[in-house]
Amino acid sequence: MSDVITTDVVIIGAGPCGLFTVFELGLLDIKCHVLDILDRPGGQCAELYPEKPIYDIPALPLVTGADLTSRLMEQAAPFKPQFHFNQMVTSLEKCGDTDFVLMTDGDLVFNCKVVVIAAGGGSFMPKKPPIPGIDAYEGKSVFYSVKKMEAFRGKDVLIVGGGDSALDWVNNLQPITNSMTLLHRRDEFRAAPDSVNKMRELVAAGKMKLAIGQVTGLGGADGMLSSATVKGTDGNSFDVACNTMLPFFGLTMKLGPVADWGLNLTENLIAVDTEKFETNVSGIFAVGDINTYPGKLKLILSGFHEAALMAQQAFRYINPGERLLFQYTTSSTNLQKKLGVA
């Protein structure tokens, strides 16, 4: 296990609301670490609709999900937040009277005074195809992500899907596998043209196979796969021999570990007050899509407002007894120094 990272605040989730929380806390001299399961910031904006326009961000008549994310990153940058991507927060516990301890699936441990849950619609998790009996193979011969490429050396790998993850892993893993088959429901791919071309070259050179159809069943024993049954486009079934399968059907949001932290939930959302956006546990706040209160709207602008108000209470926990001055960024030299513009 790694050393404990000690900080004022840990923010769970690097979606738009988590990112703006960095800014609001930063204005109050509060330092944060930000954790996300995804490999990049932006939450839903980055994962579900990077290219789509958003029309209701105040003062930005039109901004795409990707642009909003990069602007929020720029706005938060003066406060030097520390990001930890590809980390799912798995546990959150109180430690003593004032501290919290958080752990991630990547074995990071944090100790902090305040936790802000900005977990949005929940953790992004890979979609698991409902193939009968697949549970028995998961983690043994069926995987939804590649953590270490070496684990696939010498294997007979079947990759299912037609997007970027599927094609990237076909091309990256092919050289070290014993055999590689890509299975997709149609002979058209939404992945980047470069990776599709590379895959087609490998197929033409006889280095891998491309099969068109959909998996309907799995064969094997004791969690070890030996074949996948595929229904072809003509309706006929055939078997593909493989001892490892990687299905890539995109991500879906599930509440995940947040449900197990002893917080009051209402229909899978964290109940908060509307003054401080604090949960039933003092020191744990929730902002953005993950929270609920009377009148809540799941909009980015609501999350921004919530971040500004919760930061005030976070300041009181982190600096007990200190007075909090209300200041404008336009006129306060103090704030401008923090922003690096004075």
Ligand X SMILES: Cc1cc2nc3c(=O)[nH]c(=O)nc-3n(C[C@H](O)[C@H](O)[C@H](O)COP(=O)(O)OP(=O)(O)OC[C@H]3O[C@@H](n4cnc5c(N)ncnc54)[C@H](O)[C@@H]3O)c2cc1C
Positions that interact with another protein (CB under 8 A): 48-49, 52, 121, 127-130, 161-163, 184-186, 190, 214, 216, 249-250, 252-253
User: How many residues are there in the chain?
Assistant: 342
User: Distance between CA atoms of 315 and 85, rounded to whole angstroms?
Assistant: 26
Q: Return all residues near 212 (Cβ < 8 A) that are at least 6 apart.
A: 183, 184, 185, 186, 187, 232, 233
- By a kind-dependent CB cut-off of 5 to 8 A, residue 289 interacts, out of ligand X, another protein, none, with ligand X
Sign of CA dihedral 296, 299, 302, 304: positive
CB of residue 196 to ligand X, shortest distance in Å: 25
Residues binding ligand X (CB under 6 A):
12-18, 35-38, 43-45, 48-49, 54, 56, 88-89, 118-124, 256-258, 288-290, 298-301, 303
Q: Which one, 157 or 300, has the nearer CB to ligand X?
A: 300
DSSP string of 133-167? TGGGGBTTTB-SS-S-GGGGTT-EEEEE-SSHHHH
Binding site partner of 123, from another protein, ligand X, none, Cβ cut-off 5-8 A by kind:
ligand X
CB-wise, 227 or 292, nearer to ligand X?
Answer: 292
Decide: 155 and 324 in contact? Cβ < 8 Å. Answer: no
With CB under 5 to 8 Å by kind, the binding choice for 128 among another protein, ligand X, none is another protein
- The nearer residue to another protein, 17 or 30, going by C-beta atoms, is 17
Sheet containing strand 237-241, edge to edge, reads 237-241, 224-232, 209-221, 179-184, 156-160, 244-247
**What is the C-alpha to C-alpha distance for residues 342 and 333, in angstroms, rounded to an integer?**
6
Least distance (Å) between residue 161 CB and another protein:
7
Find out whether 54 and 65 touch, Cβ atoms under 8 Å: yes
Class of residue 222 by CB neighbours under 10 A (exposed 0-12, middle 13-18, buried 19+): exposed
Measured from the CB atom, the residue of 233 and 274 that comes closer to another protein is 233
Question: Which of another protein, ligand X, none sits in contact with 249, Cβ below 5 to 8 A by type?
Answer: another protein
Amino acid (1-letter code) at residue 271: A
- 8 A C-beta contact, residue 202 and residue 191: no
Least distance from ligand X to the Cβ atom of residue 53, Å: 8
Residue nearest ligand X (C-beta atom):
120
Least distance from ligand X to the Cβ atom of residue 11, Å: 9
Could you tell me the smallest distance in angstroms from the CB atom of residue 32 to another protein? Answer: 28
| Smallest separation, CB 171 to ligand X (Å) | 26
- Choose the contact partner of 214 out of another protein, ligand X, none; CB within 5 to 8 A by kind: another protein
Q: Considering the complex, what minimum distance in angstroms separates the CB of residue 36 from ligand X?
A: 4
